[in-house]
Amino acid sequence: MRASVDSISKLLYITILLLIITISTAVDIINTTQSIRDGGSMVSADGSFKMGFFSPGSSKNRYLGIWYNKVSVMTVVWVANREIPLTNSSGVLKITGEGILELLNQNGSIIWSTNSSRSARNPVAQLLDSGNLVVKEDGDDDLENSLWQSFDYPCDTLLPGMKMGRDLITGFDRYLSSWKSPDDPSRGNFTFRNDPSGHPEQILTENSIVRYRSGPWNGLRFSGVPQLRPNTLYKFEFVFNDKEIYYRYQLLNNSILSRLVLTQNGNFQRFTWTDQTDVWAFYLALFDDYCSRYALCGAYGTCDITSSPVCGCLKGFLPKVPKVWDMMDWSDGCARRTALNCSGDGFQKYSGVKLPDIRKSWLNKNMNLEECKSMCMKNCSCTAYANLDIREGGSGCLLWFSELIDMRQLNENGQDIYIRMAASELDHDVDVRIDSKSNKTKRMRIIVMSVVTSGMLLLGLVMVLFLWKKKQKKGSILKRSADDSCKKEYPELQLFDFGTISCSTNNFSHTNKLGQGGFGPVYKGLLKDGQEIAVKRLSKSSRQGLDEFKNEVIHIAKLQHRNLVKLLGCCIQADERMLVYEFMPKKSLDFLIFDRTQSTLLDWPKRYHIINGIARGLLYLHQDSRLRIIHRDLKASNILLDNNMNPKISDFGLARSFGENQTEDNTNRVVGTYGYMSPEYAIDGLYSIKSDVFSFGVLVIEIVSGSRNRGFYHPDHNLNLLGHAWGLFTEGRSCELITEPIEESCNLPEVLRSIHVGLLCVQCHPNDRPSMLSVVLMLCGEAKLPQPKQPGFFTDRALVEANSSSRKNTSCSVNDSTITLLEAR
């Protein structure tokens, strides 16, 4: 008996010893059956990097991080839970079967986790030799296929191979943020990122205040960073195309350790490890002198570190406030000595400078320098121009339309800029020899140039008059529309000129594009007074013509409600038609609820707030506005969100207004969006306030489920989302409709009530659907909910496809995919 006990004890001892060895042995990869506990670690295959738990400085908090493994001074390059520390050594890191990394505390609560838009069959987490922690399919070494990687979420350090920049398709941004202190790795006050507004450049901000900018990329380097040049330590690249924009570097010798760090005091420095001294040696800093400070010398001032004082005014400019300037406060900048008069102005060339702030500039990659000059000369608001790319003699065009800020003189690798000046302030290369032949030649040259110039001006004037008359005749209807819709009928709306809108959107650049609708593209703009706007530009190929354009102006100009987007004005010039709206920073609802990553930003309280806001906006349209408005195209992409997640209904191009006693109307031209149209409207062209109620019901079901009605798929049946929701409701299983991101935050009675209200709104027959007043009361819990009848457009696709050749006037089982003879989107 005693021998048996000894055997069991020995076996238990060996098991515990093996477990301790397993936990403490460093590996570079873990799967779903393994975990890393505090005291354990992962080490990359070549031993360069290590991941585990640490306490920074004098702090006793614990963090999961990655640091250099072969360096005697612990140097952390990445922190997972930088905002939520562990208070003891109970942390555990594991990977789930869905490929999600989770960091758990002693209570088993998740304090940090990764995200992914897709899953893997055999997910693993691996620490690579580059210092990159990746989640991927086991055996797949292609980083492009990884589910998640730490390189996409930098902290304060930029390692070789890391991208710092933005994905222009998804809007995902990779940038650096400083530690708060040596004892606290949470986000500090400083961030360093690629700024995509205007032509790309790098900016450092302290909270929201710009402290430094690199100047725009000129093909070789950032114009204000002359020290960025080929060297023996690293090579660098800057990528700027339609898909992404980023800066990245690679070390030329992998045996050398070097890193870029955004320090806690807001400097961006390169450090290189030296084994001889066993320290990180300072190698390079971007902000290496007083002139690096953003806008130190104010508008039209220039900084020269070799001068005393460092700030001076550009030639032809004087201090705006001389007394303050003499006290070495240069923030007010300089003002022109001689005012511009547009037609008689010229350009003064300045060489070897850092180009001024470009966030309100305009660019064209295809213009040469002469074309750039001509473009600037034609616009009296243009203050300067320069080459976009200085390689191979220069190409591209940069134009400035505001005061020139943050310029400095560089001793090497500077750039040329041409600044608009009054003619009397220009330097001229004049032949100073005093002899008759020279004077006669000079006079002859002046006479010839005057005659030629006069002739060209006269010819140009004739051409302009001809084209103007032709355009006036062609655009007479369009011009009357502008006057009627924007000026005469609605004097409260601002009439914008094309130049202002073009300048505000960087000439409708791809980086400013917010999206694409049936009307045309939508761009973000920034007016000279700093106001952000959204510009809807009618596409030349748009099916939504002048009538729809006027329709939107007419309806939305008369509407004022916190849940309706605000129209600021319009622009009609030549063939251009544009609407100018307030800018909604959180984009549209579909961008958030249908994306697996973005949907985590919307918990249930936010979604419930959005549902109620849309309902109140529709109630205003149907009952409380000066006109009874039927929107006719209510959908997720037409619900915009402000910074506080307040929903605002937009896009009134298809809206119709009713008289006081009118309740419905019909049309032979059915327009709208598949999946949101009510049966009576899609089949018979009948629309009413109950058509919008149906669309609202679809929206509610989509917001709760996180799925689109159109294109919904379920492995157990062929129903669309409405049919799926109806089936769950009739079986008492509506809670299964709730999307994962809101499961933890949801108020279950509120969610179930919202689903119930949504199903009441999508009932087949209009008379069965509640009014929006009833909907608002029901959502607030102030009305008893009747049992819903079956929804319209809910039957399975196989049945519908068999009957898609005919149109049924009374059927409510036609799926959205079978609607024909429609201008649906």
Residues belonging to the active site: 633
430 burial class (0-12, 13-18, 19+ CB within 10 angstroms)?
Answer: exposed
The answer to whether the beta carbons of residues 86 and 53 sit under 8 Å apart is: yes
Instruction: Give the sheet arrangement for strand 101-104, strand by strand.
Output: 35-37, 92-95, 101-104, 110-113
Total residue length of the chain: 825
| Partner residues linked to 763 by β-bridges | 791
**Which ranges of 630-709 would DSSP assign to H, the alpha helix?**
679-684, 689-705
Closest CA to 623 of 677, 684, 692, 672: 692
Six-digit token string for 43:
């080490």
Burial class (CB in 10 A: 0-12, 13-18, 19+), 375: middle
Question: How far, CA to CA in Å, does 825 sit from each of 70, 550, 635, 676, 712?
Answer: 59, 20, 11, 10, 17
CB-CB contact of 615 with 779 (8 Å): yes
Question: What distance in Å separates the CA atoms of residue 38 and residue 362, rounded to the nearest whole number?
Answer: 53
**Do 590 and 647 form a contact (C-beta atoms < 8 A)?**
no
In this structure, the dihedral spanned by the alpha carbons of residues 742, 747, 752 and 756, taken in order and rounded to 10 degrees, is: -100
For 711, the enclosing helix (H) or strand (E) is none
Integer Cα distance of 37 and 92 in angstroms: 5
For 227, the 3-state DSSP assignment is coil
∠ Cα 652 520 487 (to 5°): 55
Residue 711, token pair as written in the block: 């294109």
Question: What is the torsional sign of CA 806, 810, 814, 816?
Answer: positive
Q: Which of 755, 593, 762 is nearest to 691 (CA)?
A: 762
DSSP 485: I
Give the C-alpha separation, 353 to 303, whole Å: 10
Q: Is the dihedral of CA 332, 338, 344, 349 positive or negative?
A: negative
Residue 524 to residues 105, 535, 537, 677, 742: CA-CA distances in angstroms? 43, 6, 11, 29, 31
The helix/strand/coil state of 115 is coil
Place of tokens 């149906």: 694
DSSP state of 343: T
Nearest to 195 by CA among 521, 512, 477, 453: 512
Strand partners, 234: 251
- List the one residue out of 808, 786, 543, 573 whose CA is nearest residue 680: 808
E-state strands within 286-436: 301-303, 311-313, 317-319, 334-336, 346-354, 361-364, 384-386, 397-400, 407-409, 415-421
